[in-house]
Amino acid sequence: MTAPNVNSPTRVEFKSARLAATTASQTIVSCGATSNMAIRVVSLIAANIDGTNAADVTVTTSDGTATRSIVSTVTVPADATLVIASRENPIHLAEGWTLAGLASAAGDIEFTTAHEEIT
């Protein structure tokens, strides 16, 4: 397990991920335990695609031992979005870490990320 020097990386690869949320926590992005990389999530948006009902979202990070909340049961109004992470407020994942999300109603929330894999 070798963490990269994020101030002087060898490579930065731009990626995106999408997840249709259910009521159970699911991985949005993960950084493998032996990946020799770090991930910087520069955009995480929760979009409520239900035209009628609001839905709550929860987003967590986990290092495999402990899980911590980024947002917990935050309401996203119908046909609205919630910006959870941005270039100004990124989420960093070290080796072995995951970013996961869930919603109060299956099929109402879609998570989308833009992230950088740094080696």
* CATH number, residue 104: 2.60.120.340
- The rounded distance, in Å, linking the Cα atoms of 114 and 119 is 17
- List 44's β-bridge partners, or say none: 85, 113
Which 3 state secondary structure label does DSSP give 23?
A: coil
What mean pLDDT is predicted for residues 97-102?
98
Give a yes or no: residue 45 inside a domain: yes
Asked whether residue 30 is domain-assigned, the answer is yes
- For residue range 67-78, list pLDDT tens digits in order: 999 999 999 999
CA 72, 67, 61, 27 dihedral sign is negative
Q: Structural domain of residue 77, as residue ranges?
A: 12-118
Q: Is residue 3 situated within a structural domain?
A: no
Decide if 4 is inside a domain: no
Contact between 110 and 47 under an 8 Å Cβ cutoff? The reply is yes
The dihedral over CA atoms of 66, 34, 112, 14, expressed in degrees to the nearest 10, equals 140
Domain-embedded: residue 2: no
Q: How many domains does the chain have?
A: 1
Domain contains 5: no
In a domain, 6, yes or no: no
Integer Cα distance of 52 and 39 in angstroms: 35
Please state the pTM of the whole predicted model. Answer: 0.91
pLDDT-above-70 percentage for the chain = 93
7 within domain boundaries: no
